[in-house]
Structure 1
Amino acid sequence: MDTFFIAHGSVSMVVDETIPERSFLQSWKSDTMPETPKAILMISGHWDTDVPSVNLIHGTNDTIHDFTGFAEFFYQLKYPAPGAPHLAQRVKELLDTSGFGPVKEEKARGLDHGAWVPLMLMYPEATIPICQLSVQNGKSAEYHYNLGKALAPLRDEGVLIIGSGNVTHNLEAVGPNDGPIPKWASDFDTWFKDALLNGRYDEVNNCEKAPGMKINHPTPDHLFPLHVALGAAGNGAKATLIHHSWTNSVISYASYRFTAAQ
């Protein structure tokens, strides 16, 4: 299976038809991923921990409403996808044996909005088992890439690996949806796209040194899911840009597909 990095937006994307990525996610099964995975491993920028952690859920994943300032309607939304305890144990096994452990099991944590908002549009039936894996803000991009490499065997086991975040993510600088895109945001987005599409993964994995990194990512949590997905595609993987749009002037919705080398 290919791996993916999907840009996620605020919870309003569930109903706001003016957000361009909404239609892209809704057409996911017909245009991007017609094969139904056995399970999905989501790496979300909204779960940051000191050590790699998985939510090992027997039964149904809770829907975490980790946002404020929205209408009551949004706090009633549910995405009751089943947990994937066997996948969680497999992730733990792969990471522990690769030197990333001990991996922590979270048996009460559900899905944050970085996971369930895009999944609600991609797989609205909520029938595919979901496991979520955390990122570590205190680690590097290269660490997350290597962590992803340890998860590569999952692709041959029918597991869809999705990183959920944003290539640019400075919430202090957000503006109107139709506002101009500042140069520091567009330049960083273009730098990342060029590096990925031309296979300059050494630069991607050292993005801490990239021009504009700090202003685009005051904290790197929304970028590291990309590195996990890229690493999980294996050495020599090919990156493809599958969607690109902007919201709030500074939030890139660039989304990528990573295809393993043949």
Structure 2
Amino acid sequence: MTLPTYFLSHGGGPWPFMMDQVGHLYARLDASLRDLPRQIGITPKALLVITAHWEGRDFMLSSSPKPPMIYDYGGFPPHTYTVQYPAPGAPALAAQVQHMLEAGGHRALLDDQRGFDHGTFSALYPVYPNADVPIVQLSLKSGLDPREHLEAGRLLAPLRDQGVLIIGSGLSYHNLRAFNAAGAAASHAFDAWLRATMTLPPEQRTARLMQWEQAPAARMAHPREEHLLPLMVALGAAEQDAATVPYHEDAFMGALAVSSFRLG
């Protein structure tokens, strides 16, 4: 079975652990993530998560068998700095991914100290609440070149036939200085372009995404593109497959348009 790939808009901070306070804001995202196991149909052997919250000079891979937690957010309730998502790591998969990337000309390094950041544990807690699927995190590469990340995804495509679910975890709109009504127009313009682009035939879709900065409101939606780049890896790993939209919201945080994508 060839698994799909996903780009997930992962929401803000530790939201799944604050549903009694923010559930009204995250109900649709939460429901979409909880539906992923049904969509996939099987439990993956492992997850490879390209996280927007980790960058290295080269591609980096988490290789600890028991990754710790990284609370990479501020201003949240005290209990959110003690939450645990005790999914196991997968050192053998990390080494395999390293080999696949290096065989394709991309230097990749293992990091046996790296823990799960909220781009991983917040996105995956609703999907696999028992934390029983092994996870390897893949960093972005500094420079944030979309083509390098697309090429990395192409090299990793064979994992889809080996029971590994490839997930790009980011956010389709990420301008924290306008994460409210001030960003509404930009988020809607960019999201409409992105959803239309994802429906195009593969060659046209890839070409447009490689030139994403030319999209309407592109730099307003992504002043810095780290939350968009995980999409390029997910795309590269399923470049010939059709895309669907498992999650879309027109009034995220009251005003913003955000989306997630499935390929395959």
TM-score (norm 2): 0.91
Change (3 A) 1:252 1:86: farther
Counting helix residues as a fraction of each chain, which structure ranks higher? 2
Q: Deviations over 1:162-217 (max 9, x none)?
A: 00011111001112xxx586222201110011011123221012212323221111
Q: Which residue among 58, 62, 69 is the counterpart of 1:55? A: 62
2:109 paired residue number: 104
Q: 1:241 aligns with which of 235, 241, 245?
A: 245
**Is the 8 Å Cα contact of residues 144 and 226 (structure 2) preserved in structure 1?**
no
TM alignment of 1:144-159, pairs within 5 A = 144-159=149-164
Measured in 1, the distance between the counterparts of 2:40 and 2:164 equals 12
Q: Deviations over 1:76-106 (max 9, x none)?
A: 11000000101100110000000011x1111
- Residue 248 of structure 1 and its aligned partner are, at CA, apart by 2.7
CA apart distance, 1:28: 2.2
Instruction: Name the SS of the counterpart of 2:150 in structure 1.
Output: helix
Q: CA deviation at 1:141?
A: 1.3
What aligned pairs does 1:206-217 form with structure 2 within 5 A after superposition? 206-217=211-222
Alpha-carbon contact 2:16-2:125 (below 8 Å) kept: no
Cα distance in 2, alignment partners of residues 250 and 192 from structure 1:
17
Cross-structure match for 1:12: 15
Listed as ranges, the matches of 1:48-127 within 5 Å are: 48-58=55-65, 60-101=66-107, 103-127=108-132
Counterpart Cα distance in 2 of 1:29 and 1:90: 25
Identical amino acids, percent of aligned pairs: 35
Question: Would you say 1:169 and 2:174 are equivalent positions?
Answer: yes
| RMSD between aligned residues | 1.5
SS of residue in 2 equivalent to 1:244: strand
| DSSP 3-state at the match of 1:43 | strand
1:21 aligns with 2:24: no
Q: Which one-letter code corresponds to 1:168 in the other structure?
A: Y
The answer as to whether partners of 2:49 and 2:166 remain within 8 angstroms in 1 is: yes
State the 1:38 CA deviation. Answer: 0.3
Alpha-carbon distance in 2 for matches of 1:74, 1:252: 26
Q: Bigger shift: 188-197 or 250-259? A: 250-259
Residues 229-248 of structure 1 show CA distances to partners (whole Å, capped at 9, x for unaligned) of 010114x2211111101423
Q: What residue number does 1:187 align with?
A: 189
Relative to 1, partners in 2 of residues 1:250 and 1:206: Cα closer, same or farther, differing over 3 Å? farther
The alignment status of 1:232 with 2:237, answered yes or no, reads yes
Question: Counterpart of 2:47 in 1: which secondary structure?
Answer: strand
Question: Secondary structure at 1:254's aligned position in 2?
Answer: strand
Q: Which secondary structure does the structure 2 equivalent of 1:17 belong to?
A: helix
The one-letter amino acid paired with 1:82 is: P
Tell whether the 8 Å contact from 1:136 to 1:221 is kept in structure 2 after alignment: no
Offset at 1:13? 3.5
Aligned partners of 2:184 and 2:256 also within 8 Å:
no
CA distance in 2, matches of 1:153, 1:251: 35
Q: Which runs of 5+ in 2 are unaligned?
A: none
Stretches of structure 1 lacking an aligned partner (at least 5 in a row): none
Q: Would you identify which runs of 4 or more consecutive aligned residues in structure 1 move more than 3 Å? A: 249-253
Q: Secondary structure at the match of 1:82?
A: coil
* TM-score w.r.t. length of structure 1: 0.91
